[in-house]
Structure 1
Amino acid sequence: MPTANYRSLLRTPGAAAFFLPASLGRVGVAMPSLSLVWLVHSHTGAFAEAGLVGAGFAVAEALGAPQVARLADRFGQTRVLPPALLAHALAVAVLVSLVTSDAPAPLLVPGGALVGAGVPQLGAMSATRWAALLRDGRADELPTAFALESVSNAVAYLVGPMLVSALAAAGHAVVGTVSAASLSVAGGLILAAQRGSAPRPVRGGAAHARGERSLLRGPVVVLMGLNLAIGVFFGALQVSVTAFVVEHGTPGAAAPIFAVSSCSGLLAGWLYGLRRWSATPPVQLLAATAALTLGTLLLLTVGSPLGLGLVVVLTGATIPPLLVLFPVLTESTVHRAVLTQAFAWLGSASAAGSAAAAAVSGWAIDSLGARGGFAVTATAAAAMTLQSLAGLRLLRAPKGQPSRGTPTTK
């Protein structure tokens, strides 16, 4: 059966023991950005204040995530996770107390920032464990592992926001926020307890080795640019689809369009990880970004919500290979002593792009309608294609570290 690849990975000693709790915790990680908006709005009645708290959370998470990852690389996940999780739980408790006691907005924004700064980087840590587990003799299975990570992440961002919205709609916004923290902490603590699969910190080394560990290198810059652009793509697409269905008098069509797109992406990601591709990852990256660009250009031609849904499903199916190729290329070009940091920085770049896109696409939509927003989306996809083309040589694995292919179907 084709799923034997995924089963064989999870049967690897220690794999399921860290992957499953990381997946559980990731559901909690996917919830705070939305749960804080519901929490603040439910007590203040103002979306402006809720938006400010959400912005504080997002900025702090983008800046704090790489610092937590840096500590994990330096001291080890099992030493860093418990105090980080405790700090996150305390920050959530402080913010909930501030909101429920009707504290003024100037206090709520720093509270949201404290929560964001302590979000546990379970996805980056899980990916780093896969890299360590499969490094010797099984490197060709690493793309399958990252495909599994991508599917887990997609499921988390489907289930988490749905759970938050359901609790908030029932009048339990506080429960949603506390549930998010509880899932993150529970998953993180179980992950921290799995000492056998935790990568050992790499310390010391000659000056040239320290230079190799620097993240200020060509391949990382290209990957940061790609993640920034895909963040812009996601952020602009969400706003533009919403604007389009409102323009056509069918605001209820947004939810099914996003749901079907997410499901097509899940299926595409699952299938992508089951096959070995003959092309190298940089070439696959160029092909996937080119396909995404062509798909986004079709967004400029759609004239109905049904047509939009079909195109969004098509573009959604091209995203999962990119979300697998990014960590594959990162693992093959970044020193293992800073791998968790690299994964975290890529996530921060994507978050920054998404935040910027909300403002830029909003301006474009106000000026040109929904197609103005789609133009921002298409520009982001085109930028990814150009970066992939420019980075073809840079993203090839260094001598002695051959670039990984994608896994065989057993």
Structure 2
Amino acid sequence: MHSANYRRLLRTPGAAAFFLPASLGRVGVAMTGLSIVWLVHGRTGAFGAAGLVSGAFAVSEALGAPQLARLVDRFGQTRVLPPALLAHAAAVAVLGYLVAADAPGALLVLGGAAAGASVPQLGAMSAARWAALLRTDRAAELPTAFALESVTNAVGYLVGPATVSALAAAGHPMAGTALAASLSVAGGLALAAQRDSAPAPATDCAARTRGDGSVPRGPVLVLVGLNLAIGVYFGAMQVSVAAFTVDHGAPGAAAPVFAVSNCGGLLAGWLYGLRRWRAAPAAQLPAASGVLLFGTLLLFTAGSPCGLGMVVFLTGAAIPPLLTLFNVLTESSVHPSVLTQAFSWLGSAGAAGSAAAAALSGWAIDSRGPHGGFALGAGAAAATTLLSLAGLRLLRVPKRRPAATRPTPD
């Protein structure tokens, strides 16, 4: 199989028209959290204050994303997204004003929380559109579509933070925040303008009464737990890799090591989506998580930043297939009327795990050095593997439901 798979997907009527704007907006979303760190630090000179504001942003986004997604499922993307984007732009502008005005720290935290609560969930909305577009007669291509989403997400988190860091290093942290918000809003508005590919809003109250629109507790709880564990892995690695390079007298090597990990992820995600796998998605999960666990155990053997780079190439390569499988299993486990909510819950779990691990790994590193942080990451990978095995029966893809009504402009 070759990249014609991806070209065929994007040539599907309406696909490129929603996928490209969503991808652009997700670069802005990937920039926003770090841009706030640089913005607050550039004005206050204190990473402590910057951490509090960015932490409020992250927690608020994790709590607010499922609520925004619920509105999207209920009323439709094209109705909910424009006012949500307006609220996000206003919140970021207010935060910028507060920083420029040297407002008290409490107000800055509130401003960060407001910006986080209104972050547009463009990844979940794009994934929901792929599901609506392909579910009827091209369901076998959904893994490829979700792999493309995973690759795009990795590109966003590779390009976005690097761009905002470069602007901050050049003395323009406010420009980084403004650029992040502009990309998010522009991409979101362009996505909202594509009405034909938007999933139909869940207005069938009778179906909800029968329970067809409920989120199955077992499968979704397993997937939320898996995303929580992956979030812990990410949070632990972010701090541990930096600590490792500092411990070896090469703090500047952290950025190349992260770049190597991201490149491994990009390559693996791209290749994974090119193949039609015979094994069921639930059966693939333990294999992919086992690769991640094996890679995290190899972290303890790394004796230099170069050696660490070779190991994180492997661990980075395990992540996109896992994220793709999470989306595939979520789409097959929930009713279309709550799909955006389900995707958002996965993202929120990952964000919560990452935030918690960032704090825990700092304590572990202070106590036991970089290997303490690696141990936390290895524990998260082990939990992912065990949960994948334990959830095999729950995550078994059921017989596909009859296709939902073709999306209509909302």
Residue type matched to 1:352 in 2?
A: A
Contact 2:332 2:400 in 1 (8 A): no
User: Alignment partner of 1:31: what SS?
Assistant: helix
Instruction: Give the whole-Å Cα distance in 1 for the aligned partners of 2:120 and 2:253.
Output: 34
Structure 1 partner of 2:123: 123
**Deviates most, 198-207 or 371-380:** 198-207
**Matching of residues 302-341 of structure 1 within 5 Å:** 302-341=302-341
**Matching of residues 319-398 of structure 1 within 5 Å:** 319-398=319-398
Note closer, same or farther for the CA distance 1:240–1:218 as it changes in structure 2 (3 Å cut): same
TM-fit CA distance, 1:215: 3.0
Matched, 1:86 2:79: no
TM-fit CA distance, 1:207: 7.3
- Structure 1: tracts of 5 or more residues without a match: 403-410
**Deviates most, 199-208 or 257-266:** 199-208
Structure 1 partner of 2:63: 63
Structure 2-normalised TM-score? 0.96
TM-fit CA distance, 1:202: 2.2
Instruction: Give the whole-Å Cα distance in 1 for the aligned partners of 2:131 and 2:177.
Output: 32
TM-fit CA distance, 1:211: 3.2
- TM-superposition CA deviations, 1:31-57 (whole Å, max 9, x none): 110000111111111111111100110
Note closer, same or farther for the CA distance 1:245–1:198 as it changes in structure 2 (3 Å cut): same
Residue type matched to 1:144 in 2?
A: T
Structure 1 partner of 2:408: none
TM-fit CA distance, 1:246: 1.3
TM-fit CA distance, 1:249: 1.3
- TM-superposition CA deviations, 1:155-205 (whole Å, max 9, x none): 111111111111111111111111111111100111001000000012335
- Structure 2: tracts of 5 or more residues without a match: 403-410
Note closer, same or farther for the CA distance 1:39–1:278 as it changes in structure 2 (3 Å cut): same
Structure 1 partner of 2:174: 174
Structure 1-normalised TM-score? 0.96
Residue type matched to 2:257 in 1?
A: I
- TM-superposition CA deviations, 1:330-369 (whole Å, max 9, x none): 0000111100000011000000000010111111111111
Contact 2:88 2:118 in 1 (8 A): yes
Instruction: Give the whole-Å Cα distance in 1 for the aligned partners of 2:362 and 2:212.
Output: 41
- TM-superposition CA deviations, 1:278-326 (whole Å, max 9, x none): 1000010111011111111111222222221111111111111001101
**Deviates most, 206-215 or 351-360:** 206-215
Residue type matched to 2:55 in 1?
A: A
Matched, 1:291 2:263: no
Note closer, same or farther for the CA distance 1:218–1:274 as it changes in structure 2 (3 Å cut): same
Residue type matched to 1:181 in 2?
A: A
**Deviates most, 292-301 or 333-342:** 292-301
Instruction: Give the whole-Å Cα distance in 2 for the aligned partners of 1:85 and 1:306.
Output: 42
Instruction: Give the whole-Å Cα distance in 1 for the aligned partners of 2:306 and 2:165.
Output: 25
Structure 1 partner of 2:405: none
Note closer, same or farther for the CA distance 1:120–1:304 as it changes in structure 2 (3 Å cut): same
Instruction: Give the whole-Å Cα distance in 1 for the aligned partners of 2:205 and 2:116.
Output: 33
Matched, 1:267 2:267: yes
**Deviates most, 56-65 or 202-211:** 202-211
Note closer, same or farther for the CA distance 1:368–1:192 as it changes in structure 2 (3 Å cut): same
Residue type matched to 1:224 in 2?
A: V
Structure 1 partner of 2:256: 256
Instruction: Give the whole-Å Cα distance in 2 for the aligned partners of 1:210 and 1:255.
Output: 52
Note closer, same or farther for the CA distance 1:210–1:246 as it changes in structure 2 (3 Å cut): farther
Residue type matched to 2:103 in 1?
A: A
Instruction: Give the whole-Å Cα distance in 1 for the aligned partners of 2:218 and 2:398.
Output: 12
Count of matched residue positions in the alignment of Structure 1 and Structure 2 = 402
Note closer, same or farther for the CA distance 1:148–1:207 as it changes in structure 2 (3 Å cut): closer
The percent of aligned pairs where both chains have the same amino acid is 75
**Deviates most, 211-220 or 318-327:** 211-220
**Matching of residues 132-171 of structure 1 within 5 Å:** 132-171=132-171
TM-fit CA distance, 1:401: 4.4
Instruction: Give the whole-Å Cα distance in 2 for the aligned partners of 1:175 and 1:339.
Output: 35
Structure 2 partner of 1:406: none
Structure 2 partner of 1:214: 214
Structure 1 partner of 2:300: 300
User: Alignment partner of 1:239: what SS?
Assistant: helix
Matched, 1:45 2:45: yes
RMSD of aligned Cα (Å)? 1.4
TM-fit CA distance, 1:124: 0.3
Instruction: Give the whole-Å Cα distance in 1 for the aligned partners of 2:109 and 2:276.
Output: 47
User: Alignment partner of 1:136: what SS?
Assistant: coil
TM-fit CA distance, 1:68: 0.8
Instruction: Give the whole-Å Cα distance in 1 for the aligned partners of 2:96 and 2:106.
Output: 15
Matched, 1:282 2:287: no
Instruction: Give the whole-Å Cα distance in 2 for the aligned partners of 1:206 and 1:66.
Output: 23
Instruction: Give the whole-Å Cα distance in 2 for the aligned partners of 1:205 and 1:400.
Output: 22
Contact 2:216 2:334 in 1 (8 A): no
Instruction: Give the whole-Å Cα distance in 2 for the aligned partners of 1:208 and 1:164.
Output: 44
- TM-superposition CA deviations, 1:256-297 (whole Å, max 9, x none): 111111111101100000001110000101110111111111
Contact 2:75 2:203 in 1 (8 A): no
Instruction: Give the whole-Å Cα distance in 1 for the aligned partners of 2:131 and 2:207.
Output: 24
Structure 2 partner of 1:20: 20
TM-fit CA distance, 1:209: 6.0
User: Alignment partner of 1:137: what SS?
Assistant: coil
Residue type matched to 1:249 in 2?
A: G
Residue type matched to 1:63 in 2?
A: L
User: Alignment partner of 2:7: what SS?
Assistant: helix
Instruction: Give the whole-Å Cα distance in 2 for the aligned partners of 1:212 and 1:356.
Output: 34
Instruction: Give the whole-Å Cα distance in 1 for the aligned partners of 2:202 and 2:64.
Output: 22
Instruction: Give the whole-Å Cα distance in 1 for the aligned partners of 2:190 and 2:207.
Output: 37
Structure 2 partner of 1:405: none
